[in-house]
Amino acid sequence: MSVPRKPEQPTARAAATNRKAFHQYEVLEKLEAGLVLKGTEVKALREGRVNLGDAFVRVENEEAFLYQMHIGPYGAADRENHEPLRKRKLLLHIREIRRIMGLIKLKGLTVVPLRIYPNREGRFKVEIALVRGKTKGDKREAEREREAHREIERAFRTRQKVGK
């Protein structure tokens, strides 16, 4: 059994992040995957015309595909533009795909993209995650923790201002 690749820290800012995924799901494990793109998609990604909101990963015939990732049309490409919601192939090792397939079938997990970013060579990578859906109670608990953390930070800031 191989060790999954850890996502590398991007050199540039992420083209898009899926903030909705962190609210709806509990992230269990993260992986990095390459992405097969057309030329106009790459240029549109560089312009930041991407939305990961409803995107998900599905494994078909031992190949992983990314569905519902919206990449808006590139302005300078008239007729030769890409289809915004087409399925895009993910580049993963076969052992990673098989492992993901097993976890999806056995434990009922889901695979969603968390962010898309350029790596050092200028290629775009997708950080995908094996996730489990949160219940309403889990979401409320997370919101309470976030609110408590904000209150603590706010108290520290006011204390520092008074001390000066």
Residues in the chain: 164
Q: What are the structural domain ranges in the chain?
A: 16-133, 135-164
* CA 55/CA 18 separation, integer angstroms: 9
| pLDDT for the residue numbered 5 | 62
CB 43 within 8 A of CB 69: no
Query: What is the per-residue pLDDT across 4-55, written as a single tens digit (0 to 9) for each?
Result: 665 555 445 777 888 888 888 888 889 999 998 888 888 888 888 888 888 8
Share of the chain above pLDDT 90, in %: 21
| pLDDT for the residue numbered 122 | 79
Topology given in CATH for the domain delimited by 16-133: Small Protein B; Chain: A; (2.40.280)
Residue type, 35: L
> How far apart are the two ends of the chain, measured CA to CA in Å?
56
Signed CA dihedral, 31, 36, 39, 44: sign only: negative
The residue with tokens 């519902």 is 68
Beta bridge partners of 50: 71
